[in-house]
Amino acid sequence: MVDEKKGFIIYKDWCLTILELMKDKEDPLTHSELGMLMEAVFSYQSTGEDLSKNLPKHIRFLFKNILDVFNRDLDKWQLTREKRKESGRLGGLKKANNSIKSQEVTKVPKVPKEKTTSFFDDFYSLYPKKQGKEQAIKAYQKALKKTTHEIIMAGVKNYKAQIASKNTEMQYIKQPATWLNAGCWDDDYTIETKQNLADINAMWANEPKGVSYGF
């Protein structure tokens, strides 16, 4: 059976061959024989039934050649159909993934301009280094497109706590604009307490001497 194809191709060289056979002076192809050939072709294409056994020998040979081309075309068509199905499946998966990703993205709500000014004042008053205010304002406005004021403020508090625990000198504290542009509100600010340092010293004291760790 020729699967779900709605049609088939009749090639020009088949027609030329049939015309030549019909013009053959010694043993011309009759209209009756041509009708038998076409019946076999249409029967195979519509039901898959092979009527070649009922054909005269010289027509049977022609039909077999046509049949080989039909099967070759069918294989190509089925391969193309499978490729299209796979492309459609992958396209559907891509759309589904994009839809899921778009749903997973958390949109940062737009902050009114007057609130932005108020929020920045809160940030700048809390930040441990008061330098480069104009650059800091621009950096803060950009930061609000990525995160919220509350997260920024929490990050500043953590940064200040780390500075205090390490007694960081002012010259090593980041400029506010630098801190904001680098997204430092998401940094991990480990606070080294005296107990932390005591635990680290105890750990190294128990290590065997002469051991190299490659750093």
Residue 1 confidence (pLDDT): 45
- Structure-token match 């960081």, residue found: 168
The number of residues making up the chain comes to 215
Report pTM: 0.42
Residue 213 confidence (pLDDT): 40
The neighbour count for residue 40, using CB atoms within 10 Å, is 23
Residue 94 confidence (pLDDT): 72
Q: How far apart are CA 133 and CA 120, in angstroms?
A: 10
Summarised one tens digit per residue, pLDDT across range 192-213 is 555 555 554 555 555 555 444 4
Burial, 212: exposed, middle or buried (Cβ in 10 Å; 0-12, 13-18, 19+)? exposed
Residue 27 confidence (pLDDT): 75
The neighbour count for residue 136, using CB atoms within 10 Å, is 24
Contact 37, 21 (CB under 8 A): no
**Assigned token pair, 60:** 């049977």
Q: Three-state SS for 111?
A: coil
Residue 179 confidence (pLDDT): 96
The pLDDT profile of the chain, 215 residues, written as one tens digit per residue, is 445 666 777 777 777 777 777 787 777 878 887 888 888 888 888 887 787 777 877 777 778 778 778 778 777 877 887 888 877 777 777 776 666 655 555 556 676 776 788 899 999 999 999 999 999 999 999 999 999 999 999 999 999 999 998 899 999 999 999 999 999 999 998 775 555 555 545 555 555 554 444 43
Residue 193 confidence (pLDDT): 54
